[in-house]
Structure 1
Amino acid sequence: MSRKLENKVAVITGGSAGIGFGAAKRFVEEGARVFITGRRQGELDKAVAEIGGDIEAIQADAASLADIDRVYEIVKERAGRIDVLFANAGFYEFGTFGEITEEHFDKTFDTNVRGLLFAVQKALPLLSKGSSVILTGSIASIKGFPSFSVYDATKAAIRSFARGWIVDLKGRDIRINVLSPGHTETPGLSALADQNVRDMMKANVPLGRMGTSDDLARAAVFLASEDSSYITGIELFVDGGVAQF
Structure 2
Amino acid sequence: MNHTYDTEGTDPVALNAATKAVVTGGTHGMGLAIAAALIDGGAEVIVTGRDGKKIEAAQAELGPRAHVVRSDAASPADIDALAARAELLLGGIDALFVNHGYARLETFDQVTEATYDRHFDINAKGAFFTVQRLAPLVRDGGSIVLTSSIADSGGAPGMIAYAGSKAALWSFTQGFAAELLPRGIRVNAVSPGFIDTPSMGIDATDAFRADFSRVGDEQTPMRRHGSVDEVARAALFLAFDATFSTAVKLPVDGGTGQDIAVA
Q: TM-score, normalised by structure 1?
A: 0.94
Partner of 2:92: 81
Partner of 2:258: 244
Partner of 1:65: 76
Unaligned 5+ runs, structure 2 = 1-12
1:14 aligns with 2:25: yes
Partner of 1:146: 157
Partner of 2:7: none
Partner of 1:119: 130
Distance, in Å, in 1 between the alignment partners of 2:226 and 2:127 is 24
Q: Which amino acid aligns with 1:241?
A: G
Partner of 1:108: 119
Partner of 2:61: 50
Q: Is the Cα–Cα contact under 8 Å of residues 23 and 96 in structure 2 kept in the other structure?
A: yes
Q: Which amino acid aligns with 1:232?
A: T
Distance, in Å, in 1 between the alignment partners of 2:99 and 2:251 is 15
Q: TM-score, normalised by structure 2?
A: 0.88
1:195 aligns with 2:206: no
Q: Is the Cα–Cα contact under 8 Å of residues 4 and 31 in structure 1 kept in the other structure?
A: no
Which secondary structure state, in structure 2, belongs to the residue aligned with residue 244 of structure 1? coil
Partner of 2:236: 221
Q: Which residue of the other structure, out of 181, 184, 197, is the alignment partner of 1:173?
A: 184
Q: Is the Cα–Cα contact under 8 Å of residues 16 and 37 in structure 1 kept in the other structure?
A: yes
Q: Is the Cα–Cα contact under 8 Å of residues 142 and 243 in structure 1 kept in the other structure?
A: no
Partner of 1:93: 104
Deviates more, 1:18-27 or 1:144-153: 144-153
Per-residue CA shift, 1:159-191, capped at 9, x if unaligned?
111221222223111110011100001122176
Which secondary structure state, in structure 2, belongs to the residue aligned with residue 131 of structure 1? strand
Distance, in Å, in 1 between the alignment partners of 2:23 and 2:67 is 10
Distance, in Å, in 2 between the alignment partners of 1:130 and 1:141 is 27
Partner of 1:230: 244
**Aligned-CA RMSD value:** 1.5
Per-residue CA shift, 1:125-178, capped at 9, x if unaligned?
211011110011000012322211010011111111122122222311111001
Distance, in Å, in 2 between the alignment partners of 1:160 and 1:18 is 24
Partner of 2:15: 5
Moved over 4 A (4+): none
Which secondary structure state, in structure 1, belongs to the residue aligned with residue 69 of structure 2? strand
1:211 aligns with 2:226: yes
Unaligned 5+ runs, structure 1 = none
